[in-house]
Amino acid sequence: MSRYARQMILPEVGAEGQARLARAHVLVVGAGGLGSPVLQYLGGAGVGRITVMDGDVVEESNLHRQVLYSTADIGLPKAEAARRHLLAANPGLQVTAHARRLDAANAVQMVAAADLVVDAADSFAVSYILSDECLRQGKVLISASALGQSGYAGGFCGGAPSLRAVFPDLPAQAATCATAGVMGPLVGMIGALQAQLALKALLGHQPSPLGQLFVFRLGKLQVSTFRFDDAEEPQDALPFVSAAHILPGDTVVELRDTAEAPQPAVPQARRIARADLAAAGLPHEGRIVLCCRSGLRAWGAAQDLRQAGYSDLALLAAGDGW
């Protein structure tokens, strides 16, 4: 009996749909708590080509929610360990692992090579970079985020509004799974939903998952959903750039001090705290690139500079694992 017999018996899949999945190429950015179920279910469904991208390694404190891995994987690159587990479960797949972070420079090529993109990185910078590139290239983006006992997942771009249309602004501050914690089943549910939305998009099922957002508040046992087909794209979006995009005329500002970042994101950066930007005498001619770890501090600093009359601004998220 075929591995996919119970899936192919569905009239909305059938042999034609299964063949479509076998021909599909999905890029999954992030192989952690969200990426684990995404990768397992896409591989189990027979998506023929899967590219997994993650610059982090497996850690013991993550195993409660990153259920793709075992204790033996601790210390290994997530992308490589994920590839090995996916092929062990389904040797017929073609899985490519990239053990490096996604940024605005490599996103162009990575998105172009895929039919559909899954954002499982749980990083503001990665989500916006992928959304911008998927919108530009007309590719479908299935994006999600999870923290504590809350999160969301939805279908963006590919003819639907982008992530920025739904979330035009970053929060003033944000916790992480390392600082605020996260429940394993929550990310498992949201990651599984991402896989379901990706499969529906690949198969062309109706109603379309594009333009639909699912919100989970499991601390209150609440799940809701809404459509955002008419959401408008922001006209003044702050772009994320990479170090490779820095131009000779750019003024680069490193917002982190030497204790937080002994080496600035780019060698020519000026170290200026956000509180000191107004008195720093930054030039009004040319682009100003603001650097921090996650992009949140840079986003806030960019809003300060906009209030002061600056308009040509960009963000650089130095990241950690991404």
- Burial-class residue 259 by CB neighbours within 10 Å (0-12, 13-18, 19+): exposed
**Is 292 assigned a catalytic role?**
no
Residues 6+ apart with CB under 8 A from 183: 65, 148, 149, 218
Nearest to 30 by CA among 84, 95, 99: 99
Peptide bond into 207 cis (omega under 30): yes
Rounded CA separation 121/47 (Å)? 20
**Element at 89 (helix H, strand E):** helix 78-89
Residues 6+ apart with CB under 8 A from 220: none
Cβ contact 273:101 at 8 Å: no
Catalytic residue among 134, 157, 177, 291: 177
What letters, b where the CB count within 10 A reaches 16 and e where it falls short, cover 111-148?
A: beebbbbbbbbbbbbbbbbbbbbbbeeebbbbbbbbbe
Cβ contact 291:252 at 8 Å: yes
3-state SS, residue 158: strand
The distance in angstroms from the start CA to the end CA of the chain is: 41
Rounded CA separation 192/83 (Å)? 18
Cα-Cα-Cα-Cα torsion 140, 56, 79, 64, nearest 10 degrees, comes to -90
- Enumerate the β-bridge partners of residue 288: 251, 313
Give me the active site residues, please.
177
